[in-house]
Amino acid sequence: MLNGISMYPGLDNTIDENLALLSKAAALGIRRIFTSLHIPETNKGAFKDELDQLLRAANRHHMEIISDISPATLDMLNIKQFRLSAFRMMGIHTLRFDCGYGAPQIAKFSRNKQNIRIQLNASTISHKFLQELIDEKANFDHIDALHNFYPRPGTGISENTLMRQTRMLHKAGIKVGAFIPSRNRRRAPLFEGLPTLEAHRTMDPDLAARHLAALGIDSVFIADSLPSDEELMMLSRIRDDTVYVHAHALTPEPVQRELLTHVFTARIDEARDAIRAQESRELVGGTIPPEPPRERQKACITLDNEKYHRYMGELQIIKRPQPPDERVNVVAQVNKEEQFLLDYIAPGHRFRILLDE
């Protein structure tokens, strides 16, 4: 996953804060920066100089600059006529067309020879517009998409909307990104967070990012102005659509705890009562002795012990409560606030358990 941060020259942060943020992100392997070139609250006096400094620093670190543009952008940049070459000379690699441009224009832009990539608004694009791009022979090798973020509480989109739009774009071979808010410094003018999904506005950013990855989003961006070092580190660790869930360990036994650290794949032949790990029996590094039997409640994690013979080491995440069984050890419990992520572990999907002490 090519994840990213966001920067807004002339708004919120000082130029030194933005340059420090850029350097930290680059050191962690984060290679994309989103910025908007048409925010009304931007300090226009500081904007151009700060933008130039950020673009030069980003290019030194080989980071992709994604610029959200509209017809108002030309005024902010003092550009008289829209030319892709002008943006390329500035050091901008990708242009996200927010509004004011039709399918024929965007299709033409996508066929450019300046190596400028085109980004669509994933939240608002329609089947009709997408078909118009196809009819206009757009070069989809130069196109991806990014959902909106929503500053005003109550206006973020639903998961159903995000998935409907994302599936439509994925069918056309277009990769899709989305935003999560930060808890560290939220962006002006409302300071209410900048999520794509309304459900993420007050959610822990780490959980929100893992939720987007589980939904199949291809890139996760922190939208707010100044994420914390911990949030940057979290973002750098999310590299694919593996479902990561935190769980409280219930066993001290080292063989079992080591087994829980692996990445697993949910079996294709989905069981009614549990998510079954495909690989776990082959990964056992020793004998698993029986532990006192426990009720198998929903979202608990179990390992079959030596009394289950050739099933020893089978890992399951329980979907439907089951009675105690002396052949089955209950070794962990998925944290309550993260249990909803289990719904995204579809057959064939990878998952990993992160043990909390």
Q: Are 222 and 104 in a shared domain?
A: yes
Q: What is the mean pLDDT of the chain?
A: 95
**How much is the average pLDDT of 93-102?**
88
pLDDT of 357 over the 80 cut: no
Residue 163: helix, strand or coil by DSSP? helix
Classify strands 219-222 and 176-180 as parallel, antiparallel or unpaired.
Answer: parallel
pLDDT of 51 over the 80 cut: yes
Report yes or no: 239 and 250 within 8 Å, Cβ to Cβ.
no
Q: Are 153 and 200 in a shared domain?
A: yes
Residue 95's pLDDT is: 96
d(CA 129, CA 121) in angstroms, rounded, equals 11
Q: What is the CATH number of the domain that holds 267?
A: 2.40.100.10
Q: Are 179 and 90 in a shared domain?
A: yes
Range of the domain at 286: 245-356
What are 298-347's pLDDT values in tens digits?
999 999 999 999 999 999 999 999 999 999 999 999 999 999 999 999 99
Q: Are 291 and 345 in a shared domain?
A: yes
Residue 98's pLDDT is: 75
pLDDT of 18 over the 90 cut: yes
What are 109-119's pLDDT values in tens digits?
999 998 899 99
Q: Are 190 and 227 in a shared domain?
A: yes
d(CA 107, CA 115) in angstroms, rounded, equals 14
pLDDT of 217 over the 90 cut: yes
Tokens of 137: 């022979």
Of 200, 217, 241, the residue that ends a domain is 241
Q: Are 29 and 120 in a shared domain?
A: yes
Residue 39's pLDDT is: 85
Q: Which of 31, 32, 35, 61 is nearest to 47 (CA)?
A: 35
Instruction: Tell me how far the alpha carbon of residue 24 is from its chain's centroid.
Output: 19
DSSP E strand stretches across 223-293: 243-249, 263-265, 274-276
What are 115-136's pLDDT values in tens digits?
899 999 999 999 999 999 999 9
Of 192, 220, 241, the residue that ends a domain is 241
CA torsion angle for 13, 15, 16, 20 (degrees, to 10)?
Answer: 80
Q: Are 283 and 352 in a shared domain?
A: yes
Residue 100's pLDDT is: 77
Question: Angle formed by the axes of helices 127-135 and 103-110, to 10°?
Answer: 50
Q: Are 213 and 282 in a shared domain?
A: no
Residue 75's pLDDT is: 83
pLDDT band per the 50, 70, 90 thresholds, residue 99: confident
pLDDT band per the 50, 70, 90 thresholds, residue 239: very high
What are 191-202's pLDDT values in tens digits?
999 999 999 999
pLDDT of 81 over the 90 cut: no
What are 136-153's pLDDT values in tens digits?
999 999 999 999 999 999
Q: Are 40 and 148 in a shared domain?
A: yes
Q: How far is CA 318 from CA 33, 272, 274, in A?
A: 40, 10, 4
Tokens of 344: 């995204």
Q: Are 153 and 271 in a shared domain?
A: no
pLDDT band per the 50, 70, 90 thresholds, residue 45: confident
Of 241, 256, 279, the residue that ends a domain is 241
Q: Are 88 and 45 in a shared domain?
A: yes
pLDDT band per the 50, 70, 90 thresholds, residue 240: very high
pLDDT band per the 50, 70, 90 thresholds, residue 44: confident
Q: Are 225 and 258 in a shared domain?
A: no
Report yes or no: 72 and 104 within 8 Å, Cβ to Cβ.
no
Residue 131's pLDDT is: 96
pLDDT of 40 over the 90 cut: no
Report the domain count for the chain.
2
What are 157-181's pLDDT values in tens digits?
999 999 999 999 999 999 999 999 9
What are 273-292's pLDDT values in tens digits?
999 999 999 999 889 999 99
Q: What is the CATH number of the domain that holds 39?
A: 3.20.20.70
